[in-house]
Each structure stands twice: as structure tokens, then as C-alpha cells.
Chains A and B, each alone.
Chain A
Amino acid sequence: MTGAVLEADGLAKSFGGVQAVKAMSFRVAPGEIVALIGPNGAGKSTCFNMLMGQLRADAGRVRVLGDDVTGWPPRKIWRKGVGRTFQITQILPSFTVRENVQMALLSFHRRLFDVFGRARLAHVDAAAALLERVGIVDLAERACGLLAYGDLKRVELAVALANQPKLLLMDEPTAGMAPAERLALMELTSAIARADRVGVLFTEHDMDVVFGHADRIMVMHRGTLIAAGPPGEVRDDPEVRAVYLGSSLDPVAE
């Protein structure tokens, strides 16, 4: 299939003797929302880190928009149009909310070595638009070090959108949020994905969120994919049910 925003082919990584990820292969199409689920320690975050270059894969290849980006540093993959959020939120604590977004915009416009301008006055409108989009425009002047966890997740999403990405990698984007907030954030993400045809790969423990928003679900266990497919199919997969002990997949109601 051509036209995939992301293709992973045989990705593998071990730490010491432990194989965290074994031969993962999958693809994400433009505008497609894919959930990568699995119990803690399944290897999801490791997988994300290999996709965007934070970790070097032991084996396998990654292609973004058709280009082989295996071994590229994260900053270069970002310039290809990949935005990401981290399981442990990574924002700039000594920046205000708006400045976090401005920083990403300055980088996007290749002004990192501009010593004459004033960062605070740069890309103000674009930053405001992004904050508006994720619904935190009223927090713009707040120091990030003081924000509530849910708001930080939104800042991180706004930052991840600053380079007009074609692919979003979101590692547990709603962890630590209240259930209603979680659904709202994923609602927002879906809307953005549909509108701009952004491919989204996300991990999530909240099954309501997963089954409510994913076009496709991939289930990971001990470093390998044990199932992949549309939500209905995955829900009825016996191996998946065994991993999740049945219960947590049931309360889904559409």
C-alpha cells in the first residue's frame, strides 16, 4: 500500500537481555486513528521511541510519508511532519503556555539562531490559534510549571500540532485526566485528524476512549502484536480477552 504516513517493518529492541519489542510491523494511513493497546510493560512506549528516533532500533525499519527515517534523530523526523506527546508529559516548565507553542513555531520557521528578534513577540497569532484549537487559550500567560496535569496534556498537544504534522504519536495522551476530560481530549484529536487528514497512533488504557475513537486497534503483549483489526473484531479475539482477563473490554457501550 502506498500513501501510508507511517510504516514500521520488523522493529525490535532489547534492553540488556530483555526483549522489549520483537519484530513489530504495522502501518498507519492518512487520517486514520490507530490505538496501540496492551498491559503495562508490553513495549508500547519503547515502540514509540523507536518510531521517532528517541531510541535506536536493534532491527527493522521505519518509513514516514514514504521516506526511510530509520536512525534519524528526532528533530529531523519532526521536520518531516511528525508530532508527538510523551507518556510522562514533556513541556518546557520555565516557559508560559503560549511560549511553549511559540517555541515550536519558531523552530518550525527555522528561527532557532535568530539572536535579534524577541521570542515573546513571534508568531503570536498562530500560537493563539493553536491554543484556541485545544481549548486552553485562557491559560496562555500561565507558567507551565504550575499547571494541572490535564492542562499540561493539552499544551503538549498544541505543541505537537505546531509543525502541521501528518502523523501524531501520542503515548497515553489522557493518563491522569478525569474520564469526561479524556473523552473530550480524544474527541478533539479525532476532529483534528479528520479535518487535516493526520494519521494518529496512540496508546491508551481507558477502553471507552479506545473503542470510542480508534478506527483500528492493535494489541501488544510482551513485545509482539497479538491482534490487530477493527474494534469489533479485536474485542472478540480470544487471545486478547485472555490478556485482559475478559472484564475490562466489556463495559464498552456504543
Chain B
Amino acid sequence: MGFILVQILTGLSSAASLFLVAAGLSLIFGVTRVVNFAHGSFYMLGAYIGLTLVAVFGDLFGRGHLAFWSALLCAALIVGAIGALVEIVILRRIYRSPELFQLVATFGVILVIQDLTLWGWGPQDLLGPRAPDLRGAIMIMGEPLPRYDLVLIAAGPVVLLLFWLLLNKTRFGILVRAATADREMVGALGVNQAWLFTGVFFLGSFLAGLGGALQLPKGGANLLMDFGVLAAAFVVVVVGGMGSIAGAFLAAVLIGQLQAFGVLFVPQSTLVMMFLVMAVVLVVRPFGLLGRPELVGQGRQMLDDPLRPTGWRFKILALVLVALLVAAPLWLGDYGLVLLIDILILALFATALHAIIGPGGLVSFGHAAYFGGGAYAAALLVKYAGTPMSLNLVLAPPAAALLALAIGWFCVRLSGVYFAMLTLAFAQIVWSVVFQWGTVTGGDDGLLGIWPAPWASDRVAYYWLVLACCTAGILALRHGLHSPFGYALRAGRDSPLRAEAIGIDVRRQQWVAFTLSGAFAGLAGGLYAYAKGSVFPNEMAIARSFDGIIMVFFGGVQQLSGPLAGAAALTWLKDLLFRLEMWRLLLGLAVIAVVLLFPQGLAGFLKARFGRFVGIRPELSS
């Protein structure tokens, strides 16, 4: 009995930080309709800044209650100010842009914060300070419970109550509620919308920072906190319902309990349990426990040009490019070939992703799951079945497709930012399964010794194999978009109402497209595994998904040839930046700059500038 009670209390205490982060995320989304992917980074900053302030305040004012608690509060306030700054400098300019732009911009912020944190606090995990007078544990019916957990248990309801007072008893709160219900209405009320949004960003980031700072005595600070909490916060927000603070609380408590009791039965897979809860909730209530449907799926669409048949000049250009690539081993060294292999594989990955993002109109933020799925499928076959390379490369795509089929079934029920968050959360779950299931997947150590068959073991031979596979894959994807299937997919994006009214099952079209896209991503992953000779969980990590997004985005979402240009640009840029100290920071700034300055992407820019030389004339998109 005492054991169960303590377990429940432990669950409640772990719900606290999660609730704070999710509440901030939900609040920001409710008012601005921006899903702040950098929210996890604010949480991480809260922890690191809190750590420093506790030490500084401790030296200044003695190590009492006042110093400790005011340090945590100040840390949260500073994070709130950083959030407001991000809103003013970046997001304010892109509220009216398609949601992809906002997601990419906030991802740029993630990169910048990662590097700044590394630079400021170093790479090692830091232990959190103990709260004064809250060391040790109390006994509850003979079972120990850390004293600090009591603080966390209280924090959730207290913040919820303060929130309720703020939203219901203040003018700011009334505006927030009005904006959450109807964004246009706020403008009509004559409110200064810009400052309302900045205020909301401050408050949301403050909550994330507070969440990070409050968990210090339990969890300390490390550089993986940002993505770690992001996936969990997405699950909470999806389960609770976007824009609903009470929903976030309910969901955080639910997930907290699940984790507390889940570790007793399946200690290795609490994330999988989370996924199961989310899956059940989504099937029963697609917009979350307390969410309302009208809040999602109103993202602005990009206006594409119609697909035109490729002109002969463009075809000749493409042929020349392929010929140059075939001949590349003649004039490229080993290092250049390795780079080119990476570019080709990532171009295939990006083209597969682009099919979903562009013509499909669905921003998948978890495509690394299928890239990594293909890589692991090939590697596992080598390890456990000893099958030859050619067979493994044939089997990698269907394996990845199977994964995409299962995950896609859930994801296509939703659209817009919900789709982005769901795909990311699912990818994170796949990653954690691979990461934690060490006996089969090798866990963090990965799987080694994935070498090409003898006939392809020479670098040049493998390069040609990659070139052949990727060219074929990219052409197949391109053809698919020109096929009736691809048109029907695009019709569903252009106007779901019209598509359904001419007999198109939009969801099914998207589901099949998602699966096919997963298959091509899987082929890229399989090729990648053999190119590196090994597979690590990194191939499935969020960073890989973001790479794909950025390649698509750099290239320009509206261009079929965009992913190619994007893959080349990003790989080249990374190769260049990797040698520098703070490459993430520079990459992040580059991403933000592209969002703000070249919204039509590289290929779009080239098309607008030079398109007429190859017989392409921009129509709608520029």
C-alpha cells in the first residue's frame, strides 16, 4: 500500500517539469499558432542558468532558502527574456509564413542554443545542487520518498492555479483567451498584437525555464535535455489537446504515472508506453483529451506552380550532370568521392521527404526513423541472417515502408503542426527502442562490420552503385509526382474539400504516399549503412530528421529539384563548418538567415533568376 502511494507521488513529481514545459508550449501555440521547436532548448537553458545562479547567489547571500529559490526564479526570468528576444528578432517576421518556415526557424534557434550552451558550460553532465533543508527522504507508510519530490508535487497544481487566475482575472489573460479562441478577433479589439505575442512568448519560455531549473536537484543539467524533453512535451501536448493548459496538466499527470508504474514492469520501455497511451488517445479523441479541432490545420499553404513537362534544355542539363557524376572518379580524390556518396544518399533521402512535405503538404519531422529503419534493417540482416548485400539493399526499403505504414496510420489522421509533432514523437520512440534494446541492436555502440559485397568493395565501384540507386530512386520519385497518384496527393493538399468532392480519399492518399516515401528513405539508409560500414542510433535521431528538413527547405519546397540542391548545399556547408569550432551555431544562423532572406529556397531562387535559360518560367510561386 505504502509502496503504491509512493509510486503515485513519484509519478506526480516527475509530471511537474513536464507540465511546465508543455503548458508553455501549449500557451505559445494557442495564441501565436507557432509550435516552438526550441522550447526544449529553453528548458535546458533554465537548468544551466539555474545551476550557475544557485552557485553565484549562494556565494553572495549564503546558502539559504532565499538564495536558492530566488536563483531558480531568476533563471526562469532570464529564459523568459531570451524567449521574448527570439520572438522579436525572428518569429515576428514569419507569423504569416507557412508553418514549415516557423518550424525550421525555431530549429535554427535550437542549433544556436546547443552550441552556446556547450561553449558556456562544457560537454560534461553537471550534477544539480541540493535544495537547502530538503536533503534526504521522508518515510510514507514505511517507504522512502525524496523530500524534494514534495516541492515538485506541489509545483504542478500551484502553477495550474496561478495560470487559472492569470487567464481569468487579468486583462492579459482575457486577451490570451480571446486570441486562443480566435486570432483575428484580437486585432479587431484594437490590441497591440505584437506585444501580446511577445508577452506570451516570455511567459511560455519562462515556464520552460522554470521547469528546467526546478528539476535541477533531481536531474542536473546535460546537453541532451533539449530533445529529451521536447518529444515528451509533444506527447503531453498532443494527449492533452493543443492550446489547453488544463489538458496539459491532465496529460502530464497521466504520463508521469505511466512512467512511475511503467518502470516497475517494463523498465526499458517507458517511452513505448507513452507511445501506446498517445496512440489510444489519438484514436479515441484525435484532438486530445481537452483539445478543440478548430485550432489545428489552418496553416497557410504555399502556392505552387503547376507541374510542367521538363523542357529539353533542362533534360540536357540533367544529362550533363549525370554524365559528370559518372565520370567523377576520374578527377575526384577519395575524400571527394566519400563526400559525393553522402550527397547522393542524402539527396535521395531529401527527395523522398520532399514528396511528403511539398506535394503532400505534410511536414514530417521524423523521417530519420525510416532512413535509420532502412540502415538498421540492412545491418541486422548482415548480423543475424548473413544475407548478401544485394538482397539486403532490396529488403531495406520494404522494412522501412512497413515502419512508415504503421506510424503513418496514426499520423495522417492529423495535419499541420500536429502531424509534425506526431512524426517527431514517433521517430523519437523508434530511436529509443533502438537505443535501449542493446542486446539486439547494439544500443549506443551500434552495429559494425557492414561492408559491401566484394564486387562493390572498391570505393569507386560502391560510388557507382550509389549513383545508380540514387538516380533511379530520384527519377522514380519524380515520376511518381507526375503520375495520377502524385496528382491526387497534391489535390488533397491544394483543397481537401475539392479532393473529397471528386472522390479522393485524402487520408488514404497521404498514407500510401507516406509509406512509399518511407521506402525510398529506407533505400537511402541501406546505402548509407554500407557506405559507412556501421550503423548507430544517430541515423534515427532528431538531428537527422532535421537535416532532411533543412535540405528540403534550403532547396525550396516548391521545386522538385530543390532537394538535390539542398542536399549538396547542406553537405558541403557542413563539411566546411565541421572544421570550425562552433559549426552548429553557424549552421543555425545560416538556417535562420535563409528563412528570413530566401524564403523560396535555393532552387526557387535559381529558377526565378536563371529559369528562362533552361525553359522554365515561374508562374505563381514567385
Which residue numbers of A lie inside 8 Å of B, CB to CB?
52, 54, 73-75, 78-79, 84, 86, 90-96, 99, 102-104, 106-108, 111-120, 122, 143, 145-146, 159, 162-163
**Can you name the residue of chain B whose Cβ is closest to the Cβ of A169?**
B501
A107 to B512, CA, bound (A): 16
Does any Cβ of A come within 8 Å of B495's Cβ? Answer: yes
Given that A94-B304, A94-B620, A96-B306 are contacting pairs, would A112 and B488 also be in contact in the complex, using a CB cutoff of 8 Å? yes
A145 to B306, CA, bound (A): 9
Contact B305 A90 (CB under 8 A): no
Does any Cβ of A come within 8 Å of B93's Cβ? Answer: no
A166 to B313, CA, bound (A): 46
**Can you name the residue of chain B whose Cβ is closest to the Cβ of A156?**
B498
Given that A52-B501, A104-B502 are contacting pairs, would A112 and B306 also be in contact in the complex, using a CB cutoff of 8 Å? no
A210 to B123, CA, bound (A): 75
5 more contacts with CB within 8 A, not counting A106-B484, A143-B620, are A92-B495, A96-B306, A117-B484, A143-B305, A146-B619
Which residue numbers of B lie inside 8 Å of A, CB to CB?
303-307, 309, 479-480, 482-488, 490-491, 494-495, 497-505, 509, 512, 516, 619-620
Which residue of the partner chain, among B303, B305, B309, B491, contacts A103 with CB atoms under 8 Å?
B491
Rank and list the top 3 A-B pairs by shortest CB-CB distance, nearest first.
A94-B304, A90-B498, A92-B494
**Can you name the residue of chain B whose Cβ is closest to the Cβ of A107?**
B503
* Closest CB in chain A relative to B484 CB, distance in Å: 4
Which residue of the partner chain, among A93, A99, A103, A117, contacts B483 with CB atoms under 8 Å?
A117
Given that A92-B498, A96-B306 are contacting pairs, would A114 and B620 also be in contact in the complex, using a CB cutoff of 8 Å? no
**Can you name the residue of chain A whose Cβ is closest to the Cβ of B493?**
A94
Contact B482 A119 (CB under 8 A): yes
A171 to B332, CA, bound (A): 63
Contact A94 B487 (CB under 8 A): no
List of A residues within 8 angstroms of B491 by Cβ: 92, 95, 103
Contact A163 B306 (CB under 8 A): no
A96 to B306, CA, bound (A): 6
* Closest CB in chain A relative to B472 CB, distance in Å: 15
A103 to B498, CA, bound (A): 11
* Closest CB in chain B relative to A155 CB, distance in Å: 11
Given that A90-B495, A94-B303, A94-B490 are contacting pairs, would A114 and B485 also be in contact in the complex, using a CB cutoff of 8 Å? yes
**Can you name the residue of chain A whose Cβ is closest to the Cβ of B359?**
A94
A154 to B241, CA, bound (A): 41
* Closest CB in chain B relative to A104 CB, distance in Å: 4
Contact A107 B620 (CB under 8 A): no
For B304, B306, B479, B491, the residue with the greatest tally of chain A CB atoms inside 10 Å of its CB is B306
Contact A143 B504 (CB under 8 A): no
Contact A118 B483 (CB under 8 A): yes
* Closest CB in chain B relative to A50 CB, distance in Å: 14
A116 to B485, CA, bound (A): 9
Contact B485 A112 (CB under 8 A): yes
* Closest CB in chain B relative to A171 CB, distance in Å: 11
Contact A54 B497 (CB under 8 A): yes
A–B pairs, 9, beta carbons within 8 Å: A78-B503, A99-B306, A102-B487, A112-B505, A115-B480, A115-B483, A118-B483, A159-B502, A163-B503
A116 to B483, CA, bound (A): 6
* Closest CB in chain A relative to B486 CB, distance in Å: 7
Contact A106 B306 (CB under 8 A): no
**Can you name the residue of chain B whose Cβ is closest to the Cβ of A118?**
B482
A107 to B487, CA, bound (A): 10
Contact A90 B306 (CB under 8 A): no
**Can you name the residue of chain B whose Cβ is closest to the Cβ of A74?**
B500
A74 to B502, CA, bound (A): 8
* Closest CB in chain B relative to A93 CB, distance in Å: 6
Given that A93-B620, A94-B303, A95-B306 are contacting pairs, would A112 and B504 also be in contact in the complex, using a CB cutoff of 8 Å? yes
List of A residues within 8 angstroms of B498 by Cβ: 86, 90-92, 159
List of B residues within 8 angstroms of A162 by Cβ: 502
For A84, A94, A103, the residue with the greatest tally of chain B CB atoms inside 10 Å of its CB is A94
List of A residues within 8 angstroms of B306 by Cβ: 94-96, 99, 143
A103 to B501, CA, bound (A): 12
Given that A120-B309, A143-B619, A145-B303 are contacting pairs, would A95 and B483 also be in contact in the complex, using a CB cutoff of 8 Å? no
For B499, B502, B516, B620, the residue with the greatest tally of chain A CB atoms inside 10 Å of its CB is B502
A103 to B309, CA, bound (A): 17
List of A residues within 8 angstroms of B488 by Cβ: 103, 106-107, 112
A106 to B509, CA, bound (A): 14
* Closest CB in chain B relative to A154 CB, distance in Å: 15
Given that A95-B306, A112-B509, A117-B483 are contacting pairs, would A74 and B501 also be in contact in the complex, using a CB cutoff of 8 Å? yes
Contact A84 B501 (CB under 8 A): yes
* Closest CB in chain A relative to B359 CB, distance in Å: 9
List of A residues within 8 angstroms of B303 by Cβ: 93-94, 145
* Closest CB in chain A relative to B509 CB, distance in Å: 7
Given that A75-B505, A94-B304 are contacting pairs, would A115 and B500 also be in contact in the complex, using a CB cutoff of 8 Å? no
A112 to B504, CA, bound (A): 7
List of B residues within 8 angstroms of A95 by Cβ: 306, 487, 490-491, 494
List of A residues within 8 angstroms of B485 by Cβ: 112-115
Which residue of the partner chain, among B490, B503, B619, contacts A75 with CB atoms under 8 Å?
B503
Contact B487 A75 (CB under 8 A): no
Given that A99-B306, A120-B309 are contacting pairs, would A93 and B487 also be in contact in the complex, using a CB cutoff of 8 Å? no
Contact A75 B504 (CB under 8 A): yes
Which residue of the partner chain, among A91, A96, A119, contacts B484 with CB atoms under 8 Å?
A119
Given that A78-B502, A112-B504, A146-B619 are contacting pairs, would A94 and B494 also be in contact in the complex, using a CB cutoff of 8 Å? yes
* Closest CB in chain B relative to A231 CB, distance in Å: 29
